[in-house]
Amino acid sequence: MLIKYSVSPQWRFVIYAIIESGGKQYKVTPGQMIDVERLDIAEGDAVELDKVLLIADGDKLTVGNPTIDGARVSATSEGEAKDKKIIVFKYKPKVRYRKKTGHRQFHTRLAIDKINQPGAEAEKPRKTLKSKKEVTESGA
């Protein structure tokens, strides 16, 4: 008996990328939220991640060696948060030595906006227009 598995046509055309940040690799798609190791950026700022290892766009697959030159992933910072507490317990038998400490790692939450393929022009961030002050003849 032959069983056929159907894959929805919509699933095939999802673009995704594998990026590296903080020594870890993440599979990202546009619109996704990820937690990466702490980055020095303010909340609401845009960041471009340039260590793109792989881009899959439908049937087209681009693999880097080790990264893809010119490929970038645009993301927006959503702030920082702490991870769950990790308990570190040191113990030596027969000498009454016990030491208990904890650690909470900081993470930066990123919202993935766009995956830019190599050769594609990156969108320039929108700048807010400042109102120009009118200068009178007296210079004030």
pLDDT at residue 60, as a whole number: 85
pLDDT band per the 50, 70, 90 thresholds, residue 94: very high
Mean pLDDT of 16-21: 93
pLDDT in tens, 116-128: 988 766 556 555 5
The answer, yes or no, to whether residue 46 has pLDDT greater than 90, is yes
Q: Strand, helix or coil at 41?
A: coil
Arithmetic mean of pLDDT over the chain: 84
The residue ranges of every structural domain in the chain are 13-116
Q: What is the pTM of this model?
A: 0.70
Q: Is 7 exposed, middle or buried (0-12, 13-18, 19+ CB in 10 A)?
A: exposed
Q: Give the number of C-alpha atoms closer than 13 A to the C-alpha of residue 116, restricted to the C-beta side.
A: 20
Segment 55-92, tens digit of pLDDT: 998 888 889 898 999 999 999 999 999 999 999 999 99
More confident residue, 51 or 121: 51
DSSP state of 65: S
CA distance 66 to 83: 29
| Tokens coding 110 | 């990123």
pLDDT for res 42: 92
Report the candidate in 18, 19, 30 with the shortest Cα–Cα distance to residue 56: 18
